[in-house]
Chains A and B, each alone.
Chain A
Amino acid sequence: MPEHARTLDEQPELTPGSAIPAAESAVLAAGSAVLAVAAAGDDAWLGGFSGVAHTSSGAVERPPFDGPVTSLLPVADGLVVGGAGGMALRAGGRWWPAQVRGGHSPVADLVSVPVEHETVLLAATIGDGVLRSEDGGRHFVGSSFGLQDREATTLSVGPHTGTVIAGTADGLFRSHKAGRVWRRCTQLTAPVAAVAYTSDRTAIAVLEQGEVLRSDDDGGTWAAVGEVTAGVTDLAVGAGGTLVAGTAGDGLWLSYDDGATWQRAVDAPPVVHCLAAGPARIYAGTDAGPMTSDDAMHWSSADHARAH
């Protein structure tokens, strides 16, 4: 393992990407789907069919891979972007195609895991399991030892333990070694739609069929606590521990009691692809473009850029 995260200047083998083009026209067609969103302070990064945009500037940038952007992760150096056809790093004013060994499956989720003096990045993919990077997203290799299914849909990192929980098409798995090795953490084998830590050791998992599970021991054991509608696409944790679930056709749902009961949010479009919680607001990527809310209950269209 490297003693420190290498900077881009220390990576002579990295293929230099194109410089980011000058700002383009901000607003794209209304109703354009936002497939990925990541909070960046009070703003957000948005991803979709045309590329990536930041809500503050509105300029749309095209990552160096084919297909839409499906996952985003702000990192110290910049932004890691995952898509249906590749991965890339946006840093230092340039795009860098990520070198991915282990497959080219679509990226469903991206997380960073603090490990001693460095940060490991993990990507959940639909078809190649989990990919792992130790150099800030420049190179990814397969890291699925222990997973029983290569369709990994969601990842969540324990805020203090660093435990990583992966939701897959074959249940829940966890890793205490930043994704090097995975162990099944429940006999459950149903497909998992989303997972999120709500506190140091409490995590919530939502199955594709709508069942809600909770673990209070860092993913060791799980119990069914409630049920939300089927078709959940993402889960976010808002202020005060409010759970927000986006769905593929039934809008947004909230829970104020750790998943036991749920109520529908107001003015949310039916198809929600992704969620991201920032310090002051929550962002949702929907088929109607980016939406935002201060209280998770009432939603409105985000102001600036729409990344198509």
Chain B
Amino acid sequence: MLNRREMLRLLAAGGAAAASGAVITSCTGGTPGGGGSDDGADVVLRFGGDPTWPFDVMPSAEVQEENPVKKAYAEALQTWLDDNPGVTVEQVATDIWDQQALTTALSGGTAPAMFPGNVLGGWNVAATKSAFAQGLAADTTELLESYDMDSKLADYAKPIWSTWQVNGAYYGVPNYFGAGNGIYFRRDLIAELGLQEPQPGWTWSEFRELARALTDGDRKGAAFQSTALHVRLIADGWLELSKLPDPESAWNWRWDYTTTHADTWTRAIEDFRAMVFEDESILSDVAFEDGDTRNAFAQGRAAMIISNSGFFTADPNDTSNPGPSNLAESLGMPLEEVVGWIQHPRGEHGRFGDTQAFMTVMSFSPDLSEEALDKAVSLHDWMIFGQGWEIEREVLWEETQSLQSVFNDPAPVHGRTEVEGVPGDLVEAWGEQYMQAVEDASALPLPPNEGNYLPVEETAGPALTAEEDMESRWSFERGNVDIAADLANLEQTRNTQAADFTSSVDDDEFAEGARAYYEALQQFWQEHAPDYAADVFDPWYEDHVRPALG
């Protein structure tokens, strides 16, 4: 018998599938599911999301005529369907971008065939791997070999792909590589004001100065998502320095915001608040999300924003998502003269890590039959790595004669920057400043991720809610804020929460993995940010981490 909470979750995940008749009895009986089905020789692949992801259902002839991107896609998809008779593609109403909805659908056997595996862990590597270990995605290890996908990956994508193994197995295929998040800035305004463009290695102090200089009348120096303070704190090591391994406890971790780096957090928070409340150079509010900051940038209401490197190539024909090209067009200037992109500023001691390459993993429903899984991987291989990708580029060139439409991915997962029959390449499409910035960011060394050293945790663990809410308070609460008291409150809350959880990982295995992780982290910072290592990380590691791990 489902309780009301469970029923409401199921209604949200199943939508119309749960309609009609007695709700709870039909829910109790379960709904027919699986992201694909076999009916003799037929395979149905179901995709969720709105718009459908990763691939659209076949666009109608009318839509193809109006939209060259849809036409190119249709041609590539139809070619594959012709080679794979008996396979059809359908849309289902599952929000694959919502962690709860997706997890519920997978648990209930109603998930689509393909989905972004990262969503299972809320885009956290360790949490995603934990979800894989719990069987929420199909094992694709053998299929990766049979489709020889490793040889098709760009060199810059291989290191991060290799980190997605869980106990020697893969639970998805490489889907998208991104150079990471950074700062978009108005090149034209900076030039007009005689300012210096940001360069790799710039600091948050320099950011603040630039934001102040770019603020003029209704235009703010920068627009921030509601979570921007988190980005600022990460630059100084918020994620790694605010918790300590504690193998003696049930959860294996304890949080420490007060005894080791309280001054660092206080300075960062005060500096951030100064930008907002003293300089008044920031446009933001508690509800601001990516779309709000992007709109502000495209409309000229903010001269800088935080966004991922891919935003630069946003489709100018997609008026629901105006991007840099739309801004440049509105100004009547070439794109590369108006908009630039740069990796995130560094923290106090030169620490970096806000800009990190990432990879979206395409995962598959564990309920797919062997045949349906093979077809799903085949389709992915075709459209992302194979002839399907080429067909789309060729048709896009024929229809648009636009290199930007053809090369709409600045760091393609396969690394291909040109296509036979298309006169031009990726750099010509987007300009040298941007492409150099993407190349620099893609080449940034990746700090060791604890998810790649510690045994996979199968317990979900305490939520980040308390930390998120406190960051929101620091970002938006006007007047005096007692940061020291807040840090103490946060520490107590998180440790109280952690006391309710028991790790699934053996204490000795945890300690061994944690030692390896922190040793790797120490080596990394000594090599890539020696000032941060000497002044911050090494003393903390020796005084607090080593004793805790024995």
A and B from one complex: yes
Residue A151 is within 8 A (CB to CB) of chain B in the complex: yes
Chain B residues lying within 8 Å of A144, measured Cβ to Cβ, are 465, 469
- A21 vs chain B, min Cβ distance (A): 20
A256-284 vs B, Cβ < 8 Å mask (1 yes, 0 no): 00000000000000010100000000000
Question: Could you say which residues of chain A place their CB within 8 Å of the CB of B466?
Answer: 146, 148
- When distances are taken between beta carbons in the complex, the residues of chain A under 8 Å from B465 are 129, 144, 147-150
Residues of the B chain whose Cβ atoms lie less than 8 Å from the Cβ of A127? 9, 12, 98, 100-101
Is A126 a contact of B1 with CB atoms below 8 Å?
Answer: no
Whether B25 lies near A108 (C-beta < 8 A) is no
Q: How far is the CA of A143 from the CA of B466 in the complex (A)?
A: 12
> Could you tell me the distance in whole angstroms from the C-beta of B197 to the nearest C-beta in chain A?
33
Q: Which of B21, B23, B93, B101 has the most chain A CB atoms closer than 10 A to its own CB?
A: B23
Residue-by-residue, is A115-132 near B (CB-CB < 8 Å gives 1, otherwise 0)? Answer: 000000000001101000
Q: Does B8 contact A (CB under 8 A)?
A: yes
Task: Give a binary string over A39-67; 1 marks a CB under 8 Å from any B CB, 0 the rest.
Answer: 00000000001000000000000000011
Q: Which residues of B contact A68 (CB under 8 A)?
A: 11, 18-19
Chain B residues with CB below 8 A from A191, complex form? 3, 5
Contact with B along A62-83 (1 / 0, CB 8 A): 0000111010000000000000
Q: How far is the CA of A104 from the CA of B11 in the complex (A)?
A: 12
Indicate if A189 sits at the interface (CB-CB under 8 A): yes
Given A66-B93, A101-B287, A102-B287: A287 in contact with B23 (beta carbons within 8 A): yes
Q: Does A85 contact B12, Cβ atoms closer than 8 Å?
A: yes
A248 contacts the other chain (CB 8 A): yes
The answer to whether B287 touches A249, judged by C-beta atoms less than 8 angstroms apart, is no
- Chain A: residues with Cβ within 8 Å of the partner, total of 45
Q: Mark B13-38, 1 if CB is under 8 A from A, else 0.
A: 00110111111110000000000000
Tell whether, in the assembled complex, residue A271 and residue B286 are in contact, meaning their CB atoms are under 8 Å apart: no
Given contacts A104-B98, A145-B472, A147-B465, contact A85 B25 (CB under 8 A): no
Please, how many angstroms separate the alpha-carbon atoms of A149 and B100 in the complex?
13
Contact assessment for B469 and A146 in the assembled complex, using a CB-CB cutoff below 8 Å: yes
| CB neighbours of B535 from chain A (8 A) | none
B454-465 interface code vs A (CB 8 A; 1 in, 0 out):
000000000101
Quick one: which of B465-497 are within 8 Å of A by CB? Answer: 465-466, 469-470, 472-473, 497
Q: Are A67 and B23 in contact (CB under 8 A)?
A: no
Nearest A-chain residue to B3, judged by Cβ = A208
**Cβ-closest chain B residue relative to A154:** B4
- A151 to chain B minimum Cβ distance, whole angstroms, is 6
B7 at the interface (CB under 8 A from A): yes
Instruction: Say yes or no: is A38 at the interface (Cβ < 8 Å to chain B).
Output: no
Please determine whether B22 and A148 come into contact, CB atoms closer than 8 angstroms: no
Evaluate contact between B497 and A104: CB separation under 8 angstroms.
Answer: no
Please give the distance in Å from B305's CB to the nearest CB on chain A. 18
Bound Cα distance A66, B20 (Å): 15
Q: With a CB–CB cut-off of 8 A, which chain B residues contact A208?
A: 3, 5
Whether B463 contacts A67 by the Cβ 8 Å rule is no
Given known A144-B465, A287-B23, contact A84–B3 (CB-CB < 8 A): no
Q: A126-B9, A148-B497, A149-B463 are in contact. Are A287 and B4 (CB under 8 A)?
A: no
B500 at the interface (CB under 8 A from A): yes
Decide if B98 touches A287 in the complex (CB within 8 Å). Answer: no
User: Which B residues are in CB contact (< 8 Å) with A49?
Assistant: 19-20
Residues of B within 8 A of A141 (CB): 286-287
One of A70, A142, A148, A234 near B8 (C-beta < 8 A): A70
Q: Give the CA-CA distance A271 to B27 in the complex, in Å.
A: 13
A residues 215-256 near B (Cβ < 8 Å) are: 231, 233-234, 248-249
- A31: Cβ under 8 A from any B Cβ: yes
The verdict on B370 contacting chain A, using a C-beta distance below 8 Å, is no
> What chain B residues lie within 8 Å of A33 (beta carbons)?
21-23
Contact B4 A106, beta carbon cutoff 8 Å: no
**Chain A 1-33 interface 0/1 with B at a Cβ cutoff of 8 Å (1 = within):** 000000000000000000000000000000101
The answer to whether B2 has its CB under 8 Å from any CB of chain A is yes
Q: Does A169 contact B (CB under 8 A)?
A: yes
For A193, the chain B residues whose CB sits under 8 A away are 3-4
**Counting CB contacts under 8 A, is B354 at the interface?**
no
A175 within 8 A of partner (CB): no
A249 to B2 alpha-carbon distance, docked (Å): 9
Q: What is the bound-complex CA distance between A35 and B470, given in angstroms?
A: 35
Query: Is B95 part of the contact surface with A, judged by Cβ < 8 Å?
Result: yes
Task: Point out which of A101, A108, A193, A234 has the most chain B C-beta atoms below 10 A from its C-beta.
Answer: A101
A88-122 interface bits toward B, Cβ cutoff 8 Å, 1 = contact, 0 = none = 00000000000001111110100000000000000
The residue on B at minimum CB distance from A128 is B100
A292 within 8 A of B: no
**Which B residues touch A198, using CB under 8 A?**
none
B118 to chain A, nearest CB (A): 18
B1 A231 Cβ-Cβ under 8 A: yes
Chain B contacts for A151, CB-based, 8 A = 5
Tell me if A273 and B469 are in contact (CB < 8 A): no
Rounded to whole angstroms, the CA-CA distance of A30 and B255 in the bound complex is 56
Q: A33-B22, A70-B8, A233-B4 are in contact. List 10 more A-B contacts (CB 8 A).
A: A85-B12, A104-B98, A106-B9, A126-B12, A127-B98, A145-B472, A150-B463, A150-B465, A193-B4, A287-B22
A-B contact pairs, 26 of them (CB 8 A): A31-B21, A33-B21, A49-B20, A67-B11, A67-B12, A68-B19, A84-B11, A84-B12, A84-B15, A104-B95, A126-B5, A126-B9, A127-B12, A145-B472, A148-B465, A149-B465, A153-B4, A153-B5, A191-B3, A231-B1, A233-B3, A248-B1, A248-B2, A248-B24, A271-B22, A273-B23
Interchain residue pairs A-B with the least CB separation, the first 9: A101-B287, A145-B469, A84-B11, A106-B8, A287-B22, A106-B12, A233-B4, A127-B100, A84-B12
